[in-house]
Structures are given as C-alpha cells and as structure tokens.
Amino acid sequence: MILTDVRDYLKSHGQAPLRDMALAFGMDQEALRPLLDYWATRGKVIKLPPGTACGGSCSACAPQTIEIYRWIDSSQ
C-alpha cells in the first residue's frame, strides 16, 4: 500500500524532499502531497519551513524551492 511505502521511506530517510519521493515512487508531486498530508494530520510528518536545506551537497536547487518533509513519530 502506498501509504505505508511513504511512511517507510520517510522513516528510513528521516527527511526527504518531495521531489526525491516523487521520483522514488514514480508519482507526480501533486499526487504525493495528499499522502503526506494524511501522515501530517496524524502527527507523524511535518513539512519543514521554506528555505530548509535538504542536506545534500549538490547545491543544485535554491533552498526556497525545495519542499522537505520529516518523519517525527518514532512509535510506529
């Protein structure tokens, strides 16, 4: 199920840019947002503030354009 796949991906990575998750799941970013919102409304995921660095070293993207999500629940 895609919801658990998204959960497992974020749990294993800690945090990830929306773009990376969309590539990993072969989905459009717009289709992935409702899945992340599902976990966010349950207090499991947060969307990091604009300008947060992704943690990569490539510096190819302006931080303000990157949408990053972090898994915050350790109980599941």
pLDDT, one tens digit per residue, over 17-53 is 999 999 999 999 999 999 999 999 999 999 998 766 5
Task: Give 1-17 as a DSSP string.
Answer: -HHHHHHHHHHHHSEEE
Host H or E run for residue 32:
helix 29-41
Q: Give a yes or no: residue 34 inside a domain.
A: yes
Domain of residue 50, residue span: 2-71
Mean pLDDT of the chain: 85
45 Cβ partners below 8 Å, 6+ apart?
Answer: 10, 36, 39, 69, 70, 71, 72, 73
Specify if 76 maps to a domain. no
What is the pLDDT, as a whole number, of residue 54? Answer: 57
Asked if the structure places residue 19 within a domain, the reply is yes
For tokens 């749990």, name the residue. Answer: 11
The CATH number given to whatever domain includes residue 59 is 1.10.10
Residue 48 is encoded by which pair of tokens? Answer: 């990091």
Domain count, the chain: 1
